[in-house]
Amino acid sequence: MKLEVVTIGTELLLGQILDTNAVDLGRELAAAGVEIVRRTSVADRPEMIRAVVAEALDRTGFVITTGGLGPTRDDMTKKEVAAIFNKPLVLNAVVLQSLEERFRRLGRTMPAVNRTQAEVPAGATVLPNPRGTAPGLWVEADGRVVVMLPGVPSEMRGLLAEEVFPRLVVRGGTAGIVVRSRTIRTTGIAESALAERVGEIEDEIAPLTLAYLPSVDGVDLRVTAWRLREADAERRLGTAAAQLRERAGEHVYGEEKTDLAAAILDLLRARTVRLAVAESCTGGLLGARITAVPGSSDVFVGGVVAYDDKVKRELLGVSQTLLERHGAVSEEVVSAMVAGAQQRFGVDAALAVTGIAGPGGGTKEKPVGTVWLAARSGQETRVVKRVFPGDRAEVRARSAQAVLDLLRRLIGKISS
Amino acid sequence: MKLEVVTIGTELLLGQILDTNAVDLGRELAAAGVEIVRRTSVADRPEMIRAVVAEALDRTGFVITTGGLGPTRDDMTKKEVAAIFNKPLVLNAVVLQSLEERFRRLGRTMPAVNRTQAEVPAGATVLPNPRGTAPGLWVEADGRVVVMLPGVPSEMRGLLAEEVFPRLVVRGGTAGIVVRSRTIRTTGIAESALAERVGEIEDEIAPLTLAYLPSVDGVDLRVTAWRLREADAERRLGTAAAQLRERAGEHVYGEEKTDLAAAILDLLRARTVRLAVAESCTGGLLGARITAVPGSSDVFVGGVVAYDDKVKRELLGVSQTLLERHGAVSEEVVSAMVAGAQQRFGVDAALAVTGIAGPGGGTKEKPVGTVWLAARSGQETRVVKRVFPGDRAEVRARSAQAVLDLLRRLIGKISS
């Protein structure tokens, strides 16, 4: 089946927040074979919300909205959707009771503003939201459906999984038909160089489509089967993915949402090797990436954020002579940092990063973006210099990804 | 002036990437007094791109697109926009030459696929893109405009600032009229509790609008003036912001995009105090947040990521007895960690975090989300326990924000 998504919130148009709900909805619906044909974002303006939802409903007959269900006055989705369906808002006793109970459990009296959250369009199905105060609402008439979900991401995801999907399955029509993608993740190769290696594969894999998705983590190759029978989609995706993997070769580090940090942890876990890090310009970002992976604690021991040179000396044993002679951003210092981390933490594998993330601190010889990376495994060390494009955040993110990739290539005996 | 934005890319609808361009465009255009009345995202499907851009053009007369200008086959924006304007695609010699030069500088031959990037709709203005291979394009006829920008965020931002804005100013109509917001940032108070404190302020501040924006960092209060004369907007925003600040009181830590980490760094810099951190469950995230702030190196010395208890003992001096008697997630251990960090790094201010980020590791007494936080300044220590909702990423992000806020409240002598 097909539907449209409308995300509501002035903050989305003013660029004040990232629309993570769009990502979650897109991923979950595609996995269920539901195609989002269009996604529209509008501000908290009643006339605009009404126009956009009504147009989407006329085009596609099925609309999911997020946002505008909270207790404050800028939350106006319910009223506009009720108007589209020519229904009044009525106080729902069950919702009111569960709201009051929720506040009682938290030991608080319910603020008066929350009472409006118990109002629903007449005839709407209430989708209980145990994670927050705003329930979801399913309004349906004459074969047209608007599903309203709250804007808080965890609440939206919970309602989608627990209340919306079961109802979509019952509606049928999607049984056996899927929209499905496979993603091959590469790093350490530019988009156009990768395109040359992959070559003119599009005709071979049709009707599947191929997209190149560059980011600070590398270039993902995403192949998509649109509304095919599940078995057919899977077979075609398997063939295409195998071809892409072969052509992209040693630059491939995983598939789907595989994080390179998670891949490295698996690699080390299989060898019962433990890991430590020494970070300067990334300032903790590398450790944060590694520990973002659940279960990382059985491989990752810890790290030193050696922002000040004193910390490089005292906690990592980098000599004052090296720092003075070569500067903190140098092959010599990153080598000493990685050896120091390995020894200090008593581990077999270690990573180190030192560089100039900017915006200040660049020189002609060492411009902003200059980063020295080191990976060590046992007695082997690999050190590379990179000059990354982008701003401070980008240089730091690219550094973390590249040093993880350096360890992958060191262990896999792949050139860097 | 008003316009619509169309972001193009299958990955946007399948939920495979966050639409950061939407954020950048929204923020930059609002700052220039340009109102985005609607933003639509569509897949890399020619007929859909054409329909959506044509509809937006009919409604609003001015459309900015991002994405679909790369060298690979899934990039089809140019062709569809050319069709809307009934113009052929023609090879542009200047673009071709600059592409070839770019590759020559990188010491590589231009891949054949990049040649299509030199094709532009006849009569289009080419917007040079020094950061990448795809130039931006400005197509205008009969008073209708489509501006096509590449999807790579840094290239999009560069073209917007250097090529699009100067042309928008020349077009006029926006002179003196702005869409402007002020944001008051609060943390440590729930949305509905904050709404009770702020009260029924909406009528007082009209025609300005107020929105409550909850996130892992706290609740932002955003007040917006829509298309007012600049002086009028500023005056009204100033009054409204002052009222909001007063009502939200001690929970306010800054305005606009102020990051709490940056605010803390300013506070410490003014006192010539230096800072170190000791992190367990945040695994580097706290250091990464602090060092994301340019210029943090004059205040922030470094940190220890003490993921393994051995690191807590050896690098932070936490005793084995404490760890055994109270467990790593305890008031006693977090107190020892913060004192250890202060002493080890020889600094006046220190922060420590230890907790259970999940998904595993929770017990009945210490469920997932249980976090102990400590802030120390001179001889004073403040320690609090929190049980945060959300998944691993959310618990970690909330922990970093809350421990920074703990130091703010300690220094400011505000209750925690």
- Domain of A240: which CATH number? 3.30.70.2860
Q: Which residue has the higher pLDDT, A383 or A226?
A: A383
- The answer to whether residues A57 and A7 belong to one domain is yes
- How many Cβ atoms sit within 10 Å of the Cβ of residue B251? 20
Q: Which residue, among B69, B100, B183, B291, would best test binding to A if mutated, counting the most A CBs under 10 Å from its CB?
A: B291
> CATH code at A381?
3.90.950.20
Which tens digit of pLDDT belongs to each residue from A2-23? 899 999 998 899 888 888 899 8
Distance CA B405, CA B222 (A): 20
Amino acid at B232: D
- The answer to whether residues A308 and A188 belong to one domain is no
**Mean per-residue pLDDT, B227-233:** 87
Of A286-290, A368-372, B115-119, B347-351, the least confident = B115-119
Which tens digit of pLDDT belongs to each residue from A103-125? 787 677 788 778 888 899 999 99
Out of A11, A27, A28, the one facing B222 most closely (by C-beta) is A11
Query: Which three-class secondary structure state does DSSP give residue B50?
Result: helix
- The answer to whether residues B126 and B14 belong to one domain is yes
- The answer to whether residues A247 and A272 belong to one domain is no
Q: Which two tokens stand for residue B207?
A: 């025609």
Cis peptide before A128 (omega within 30 of 0): no
Amino acid at B339: A
pLDDT in the model for residue A154: 83
Parallel, antiparallel or unpaired: strands B136-141 and B144-149? antiparallel
| Nearest by Cα to A334 from A320, A315, A348, A355 | A355
- Collect all residues of chain B within an 8 Å Cβ-Cβ radius of residue A359: 294
Q: Is residue B288 less than 8 Å (CB to CB) from chain A?
A: yes
Out of B14, B291, B396, the one facing A26 most closely (by C-beta) is B14
Q: Which two tokens stand for residue B384?
A: 């609090």
Beta carbons of B4 and B38 less than 8 angstroms apart: yes
- Of A197, A231, A255, the position where a domain reaches its end is A255
Distance CA B55, CA B68 (A): 18
| Nearest by Cα to B164 from B38, B21, B42 | B21
pLDDT in the model for residue B296: 97
Which tens digit of pLDDT belongs to each residue from A28-84? 888 777 889 999 999 988 999 999 999 999 999 999 999 988 776 667 899 999 999
Give me the percent of chain B exceeding a pLDDT of 70: 98
- The answer to whether residues B163 and B268 belong to one domain is no
Beta carbons of A239 and A228 less than 8 angstroms apart: no
| Nearest by Cα to A308 from B284, B347, B279, B407 | B347
Contact B359 A193 (CB under 8 A): no
Contact B291 A284 (CB under 8 A): yes
Q: Is residue B39 less than 8 Å (CB to CB) from chain A?
A: yes
**Mean per-residue pLDDT, A80-100:** 92
pLDDT at B44 over 60: yes
- The answer to whether residues A315 and A344 belong to one domain is yes
Which residue does chain A place closest to B221, by CA atoms? A11
B 214-233 residues inside an 8 A Cβ radius of A:
214-215, 220, 222, 224
Which tens digit of pLDDT belongs to each residue from B74-84? 678 999 999 99
Distance CA A320, CA A318 (A): 7
pLDDT in the model for residue A338: 98
**Residue A365 neighbours by CB under 8 Å, 6+ apart:** none
Contact B38 A48 (CB under 8 A): yes
Query: Which three-class secondary structure state does DSSP give residue B287?
Result: helix
3-state secondary structure chain A: CEEEEEEECHHHHCCCCCCHHHHHHHHHHHHCCCEEEEEEEECCCHHHHHHHHHHHHHHHCEEEEECCCCCCCCCCHHHHHHHHCCCCEEECHHHHHHHHHHHHHCCCCCCHHHHHHHEEECCCEEECCCCCCCCEEEEEECCEEEEEECCCHHHHHHHHHHHHHHHHHHHCCCCCEEEEEEEEEECCCCHHHHHHHHCCCHHHHCCCEEEEEEECCEEEEEEEEEEEEHHHHHHHHHHHHHHHHHHHHHHEEEECCCCHHHHHHHHHHHCCCCEEEEECCCCCHHHHHHHCCCCHHHCEEEEEEECCHHHHHHHHCCCHHHHHHHCCCCHHHHHHHHHHHHHHHCCCEEEEEEECCCCCCCCCCCCCCEEEEEEEECCEEEEEEEECCCCHHHHHHHHHHHHHHHHHHHHHCCCC
Which tens digit of pLDDT belongs to each residue from A144-195? 999 999 998 888 998 998 899 878 877 755 567 777 889 999 999 988 889 9
> CATH code at A109?
3.40.980.10
Parallel, antiparallel or unpaired: strands A35-42 and A62-66? unpaired
Q: How many CB pairs under 8 A join A and B?
A: 326
Contact A113 B17 (CB under 8 A): no
pLDDT in the model for residue A174: 57
Beta carbons of B184 and B177 less than 8 angstroms apart: no
pLDDT level of residue A373 (50, 70, 90 thresholds): very high
Q: Mean pLDDT: which of A10-19, B41-50, B286-295 is highest?
A: B286-295
Contact A114 B192 (CB under 8 A): yes
Which domain, by its residues, includes B188?
177-255
pLDDT at B346 over 80: yes
**Mean per-residue pLDDT, A325-345:** 97
Parallel, antiparallel or unpaired: strands A349-355 and A144-149? unpaired
A 115-144 residues inside an 8 A Cβ radius of B:
131, 133
pLDDT in the model for residue A384: 97
- Collect all residues of chain A within an 8 Å Cβ-Cβ radius of residue B283: 287-288, 290-292, 296, 300
Which tens digit of pLDDT belongs to each residue from A266-325? 999 999 999 999 999 999 999 999 999 999 999 999 999 999 999 999 999 999 999 999
Q: Mean pLDDT: which of A132-146, A173-187, B95-109 is highest?
A: A132-146
**Mean per-residue pLDDT, B344-368:** 95
- The answer to whether residues A281 and A384 belong to one domain is yes
Beta carbons of A22 and A7 less than 8 angstroms apart: yes
- The answer to whether residues A86 and A225 belong to one domain is no
- Collect all residues of chain B within an 8 Å Cβ-Cβ radius of residue A294: 358-360, 392
Number of structural domains, chain B?
3
- Of B142, B171, B200, the position where a domain reaches its end is B171
Distance CA A46, CA A54 (A): 12
pLDDT at B380 over 90: yes
pLDDT in the model for residue B172: 59
pLDDT at A412 over 90: yes
**Mean per-residue pLDDT, B235-241:** 97
Q: Is residue B175 less than 8 Å (CB to CB) from chain A?
A: no
pLDDT in the model for residue B74: 64
pLDDT in the model for residue B73: 64
- The answer to whether residues B18 and B121 belong to one domain is yes
- The answer to whether residues B157 and B188 belong to one domain is no
Q: Which helix (H) or strand (E) holds B78?
A: helix B77-84
- The answer to whether residues A21 and A166 belong to one domain is yes
Distance CA B250, CA B263 (A): 14
Out of B52, B222, B345, the one facing A16 most closely (by C-beta) is B222
Amino acid at B187: T
Q: Is residue A212 less than 8 Å (CB to CB) from chain B?
A: yes
CB under 8 Å, gap of 24 or more: what pairs does B199-203 form?
A: B199/B247, B201/B240, B201/B243, B201/B244, B201/B247, B202/A73
A 75-104 residues inside an 8 A Cβ radius of B:
none
Contact B358 A391 (CB under 8 A): no
Which residue does chain B place closest to A295, by CA atoms? B360
- Collect all residues of chain B within an 8 Å Cβ-Cβ radius of residue A9: 211
pLDDT in the model for residue A173: 54
Is this structure's pTM higher than 0.80? no
Out of A23, A292, A308, the one facing B301 most closely (by C-beta) is A308
DSSP class of residue B124 equals: P
- Collect all residues of chain B within an 8 Å Cβ-Cβ radius of residue A393: 292
pLDDT in the model for residue B70: 74
pLDDT in the model for residue A77: 93
- The answer to whether residues B204 and B285 belong to one domain is no
* CA separation, residue A322 to residues A328, A330, A335 (Å): 8, 9, 10
**Mean per-residue pLDDT, B337-348:** 98
Q: Is residue B394 less than 8 Å (CB to CB) from chain A?
A: yes
pLDDT level of residue A27 (50, 70, 90 thresholds): confident
Contact B390 A154 (CB under 8 A): yes
| Nearest by Cα to B22 from A23, A147, A36, A29 | A23
**Residue B281 neighbours by CB under 8 Å, 6+ apart:** A291, B329, B353, B354, B355, B356, B357, B371, B395, B396, B399
- Of A131, A155, A171, the position where a domain reaches its end is A171
